[in-house]
Structure 1
Amino acid sequence: MASVSFPLAGKHKQGPWFEVEGSEDYDSFFSCLYGLSPQDSRADSKIDDDQNQTIQVSQPAEKSVQNEQQPTPFSLACVEVLKTYDKLFNKPTDEGVNHNKYNASSCSKLSVNEVLKLGGERYIQYITQRTDGFSTFMHPYASALSALSAHETRDVELVHLLLAAAEDVSRRQYDVAANLISRCMWTASHSGNPVQRLVFYFAEALKERIDRETTGRLFSAARYHYRECMGLTTTPATLACHQGLPFSQVMQFAGIQAIIENVNTTKIHLLDFNIRSGIQWTILMQALAEEHHDRPIQLIKITAVGVADQHKLEECGKRLESFARSLNLPFAFHLVFLSDLKDFREDLVHLEADESVAVYANTVFRTMIGRPDCLDSLILAIRKLKPVVMVVAEVEANHNSPSFITRFIEALFFYGAFFDCFEDCMERKDPCRRTIEGIHFGEGIINIVAAEGEERFTRNVKIDVWRAFFARLGMLEIKLSECSMYQAKLILKQFEHGSSCNLYSNGNGLIVGWKGTPIHSVTCWKFNSHDDY
């Protein structure tokens, strides 16, 4: 296969209103960007078929790039859907829940995702209104661009370039895309503002996809294992992220409160599939020590199931044992270390008859979305332990679509919210921030954008897909209590930018977002004892 060369960044500089080559029609691209199907011109008919699939049925052999449906002629109906995009920034609230609301108009600077939105609008207006190679500003949202500061305008232009490059990659016009990517890299930077950082990593991912498509190179097994393990272990960078960003602590306090409310015995067995530092269990131990004066706890047992860094997991157990001793709580710690979570069996857990089992699964099931049979097996093994409650915290995003463009746009807005959060909550030169962005997120972005089929192991699905999957396995969702919601809101008050973190109910669960973009979900489950699986 022929390789594609990337011009040096900064070479052949052109004005921002360059002619986008090879872009005759754009309907499919913008339908993915703003959620409108090519056949539907109604702004209020947002349907995402990928989100309606269960995990099990979303895995058949994916369309290759060569076989993807060709874009239909561009339609001005795509412009109309821009009017509905603000719904992401103003989620409807449920009665009785006090939400943190993000109001974009009240902020002096644009969020990253507002810049992404404007970049999409600018790209649409450029394609739809260009005349003789020049874009005329007839788009109804054009006035918004004129009010931007100089650096915000540059950021919007950078997003425009990135979207144009992604469109050409989807069309396999790799030479044109390589030129656009090089123009992105002239301004993008892994150490710049959040938009520049975001575009840098997505441009790198597009380069990776072009390289793989033109050379046939595959992801190595070692890279897969590294990425999988990075999501299931604790590092100084992930610990700093836990302390500096509100998401982890909000999910932990809401989930731990749900466990406390559903475990009523004095012998408690906690099964944690992603224990990391274990700090979440110090919260539970403190709460139990304060609430059980009349009925002392006889035993708190934690079984940590891990697939990465056995030594750190053992050290975690020692720290938890020391903490429990300081509270005079009877405590036991067991470690089930596996090479793969698919090998988990209920007989690996030391369970006594009078123990009340609670399961805590924090962003761990997502690592098995690409292997639905293994995920089925894991859940059914958990079921045999007869837990009284299972708390599930997951990433609230759709990174599982067989469509490259859909995944690209979904990932761009999802990571855009994270990069925005980093900008507010951590210093730009913080080495932990650089590690999270460059290694943890950078690897994930590359895998979402550049890989296909079994090689694409960074997969996430939204809460409704998880609900369909769990329901199929005979699980019933428990409503998170008002107290769980209160605990989550209380945590946000401890963060300087906590008001930018959104909390809102979704059915019986909780969605945690940043400035209107969903980031995580927390749900609570029990198994239906009347069903036989």
Structure 2
Amino acid sequence: GLELLNVLLECAQAVHRQDLDSATTLLAQLKHGASVYGDSMQRLTAHFAEGLATRILHHRHSATAAQLLPPAKLDLLHSLILHRPAASPAAADDHLAAFTALYKVSPFFKLAHFTANQAIVEAVAGRARVHVIDLDILQGFQWPSFIQALASRSGGPPSLLTLTGIGSSAESLRDTGNRLSSFAAMFGVPFRFQPLVVGSLEELDLGARIEPRTGNGEVDDMEEEEDEEEEAVAVNAVFQLHRLLNAPRESRKLERFLAGLRRIRPAAVTVVEQEAAHNAPDFIARFVEALHYYAAVFDSLDASLPQRDEERVRIEQVMFAAQIKNIVSCEGAERIERHEKMGFWAGKMGECGFAQAPMSSHSVSQAKLLLQLCPCDGYRVVESPCEGWPVGSISLGWQQRLLLTASTWGCA
């Protein structure tokens, strides 16, 4: 394992300085030691080697040099690239199968969803009309437990739950909406699903699409009487905001998006992001950080599933290998997996007019209970793990490495 790690680092340095002869020689060594069915280090090597090979083949600075490589070395580079179905029904089925498998064996998404849900339930407590905007609804896995929680409120469910589901496929959104509508009907929660098809978050101006809850910020007697009927809006941003960092800093794409979000005066904004610094401009620093982060992710899967388990291979390839490939091989606008740590998000949210709402003790105890239901030991829940972080944020860790952090924000 340590030998593979050293060769990976040496290869990354060769790619960075565009020493393609050395890089391809080292990639040949890595190919010999890598296997998507091996131990966690061999599997990790397969995906990082793919990223390095792709970087050589496609990076704009290396294009001319790559054309000068002999055919045998070009064949080597192509052989390291793992072929996955492009955007298609087969790819969507693959993603659903991988997501479902990961949900069963790991708290990675489950803790993110349940923690965000609990924060929203508390923020909209007692409100008759609730509107949740999910920035990437996928198959809607997050929302059945939320609907159940609203159904069991002491004062009864809301008179209307509106869920705006954002995604890139109209067909997928329709299927998700139908499933959630049936679920809400089963639990007696009046429900309306609003699909919103967008290619990327930067196309979305929430401030222009969603009316603020109050017109001028002032409440007269009549407004006070009608306050029950005003929508309590919550925005769910699970593993989404980092995708707005793929533009020059001066474009302030993230800041403009958060300003639009603030205009709708949400009762809660739930932010969950991977606890990693994958946005470093320096390639080697980014590579090393990604290697350490995904080593922890792959180790956690190793503790849950056998090496040759096809579900494990699918989870790693569909859910995480694409992230690794993007971090390692892409630059500029194409590099969208720009994860930042909680300190960064706390600064940005504060700068854009949001104040942190501490997670409740119930959220913390619920997160710890989820870990007890995991098929393996090694995961841990950490509250506000670093000095200077918002009090009340919750992090999921594997052994000594933090994997993700959840926090909740309201308008300052």
When normalised by structure 2's length, the TM-score is 0.81
Structure 2 residue aligned with 1:330: 190
Which residue, out of 149, 152, 164, partners 1:303? 164
Alignment of 1:100-499 (within 5 A): 155-211=1-57, 212=59, 213-216=61-64, 235-264=96-125, 265-292=127-154, 294-306=155-167, 308-345=168-205, 346-349=207-210, 354-371=230-247, 373-497=252-376, 499=377
Matching residue's letter, 1:393: V
| Equivalent residues of 1:251, 1:488 under 8 A apart | no
Matching residue's letter, 2:353: G
Structure 2 residue aligned with 1:501: 379
Aligned mates of 1:382, 1:330 — CA distance in 2: 25
CA gap of 1:356–1:160, structure 2 versus 1, over 3 A, is same
Worse overlay, 176-185 or 357-366: 176-185
Instruction: Structure 2: state its 5+ residue gaps.
Output: 68-83, 215-229, 385-389
**SS state of the match for residue 394, structure 1?**
strand
| Equivalent residues of 1:301, 1:332 under 8 A apart | yes
Aligned mates of 1:323, 1:350 — CA distance in 2: 27
Aligned mates of 1:480, 1:510 — CA distance in 2: 7
Aligned mates of 2:213, 2:38 — CA distance in 1: 55
Aligned mates of 1:350, 1:324 — CA distance in 2: 24
Provide Cα deviations, 1:156-211, integer angstroms capped at 9, x if missing partner. 22222222222333333332232222112212112211110101211222223333
CA gap of 1:258–1:252, structure 2 versus 1, over 3 A, is same
Residue 295 of structure 1: how far off its partner (Å): 4.5
Worse overlay, 381-390 or 207-216: 207-216
Aligned mates of 1:309, 1:296 — CA distance in 2: 30
**SS state of the match for residue 160, structure 1?**
helix
Residue 352 of structure 1: how far off its partner (Å): 7.0
| Equivalent residues of 1:362, 1:392 under 8 A apart | yes
| Equivalent residues of 2:355, 2:409 under 8 A apart | yes
Matching residue's letter, 1:215: A
Aligned mates of 2:62, 2:261 — CA distance in 1: 44
Of structures 1 and 2, the larger Rg is shown by 1
**SS state of the match for residue 162, structure 2?**
strand
Provide Cα deviations, 1:373-418, integer angstroms capped at 9, x if missing partner. 3322322222121111111111111111111110110000111111
| Equivalent residues of 1:266, 1:295 under 8 A apart | no
Residue 437 of structure 1: how far off its partner (Å): 2.3
| Equivalent residues of 2:278, 2:340 under 8 A apart | yes
Matching residue's letter, 1:357: V
Matching residue's letter, 2:101: A
Provide Cα deviations, 1:479-515, integer angstroms capped at 9, x if missing partner. 1111111111111111111x31121122321111212
Matching residue's letter, 1:517: R
Residue 439 of structure 1: how far off its partner (Å): 4.2
Structure 2 residue aligned with 1:37: none
Aligned mates of 1:352, 1:237 — CA distance in 2: 38
Structure 2 residue aligned with 1:24: none
Residue 302 of structure 1: how far off its partner (Å): 0.8
Matching residue's letter, 2:160: L
Aligned mates of 2:286, 2:109 — CA distance in 1: 24
Aligned mates of 1:167, 1:482 — CA distance in 2: 46
| Equivalent residues of 1:198, 1:416 under 8 A apart | yes
Aligned mates of 2:191, 2:17 — CA distance in 1: 59
Structure 2 residue aligned with 1:511: 395
Matching residue's letter, 2:233: V
**SS state of the match for residue 246, structure 2?**
coil
Aligned mates of 1:349, 1:431 — CA distance in 2: 43
Residue 347 of structure 1: how far off its partner (Å): 4.0
Aligned mates of 1:196, 1:274 — CA distance in 2: 32
Provide Cα deviations, 1:411-451, integer angstroms capped at 9, x if missing partner. 00111111112212233333343233234433322222222
Matching residue's letter, 1:238: F
When normalised by structure 1's length, the TM-score is 0.64
Residue 351 of structure 1: how far off its partner (Å): 7.4
Matching residue's letter, 2:161: I
Which residue, out of 507, 523, 526, partners 2:407? 523
| Equivalent residues of 1:303, 1:349 under 8 A apart | no
Instruction: Structure 1: state its 5+ residue gaps.
Output: 1-154, 529-533
| Equivalent residues of 1:234, 1:276 under 8 A apart | no
Identity of aligned residues (%): 31
**SS state of the match for residue 425, structure 1?**
coil
**SS state of the match for residue 189, structure 1?**
coil
Structure 1 residue aligned with 2:75: none
Aligned mates of 1:274, 1:451 — CA distance in 2: 22
Matching residue's letter, 1:500: G
Aligned mates of 1:374, 1:162 — CA distance in 2: 34
Aligned mates of 1:392, 1:433 — CA distance in 2: 27
| Equivalent residues of 1:258, 1:480 under 8 A apart | yes
Aligned mates of 1:351, 1:324 — CA distance in 2: 25
CA gap of 1:303–1:406, structure 2 versus 1, over 3 A, is same
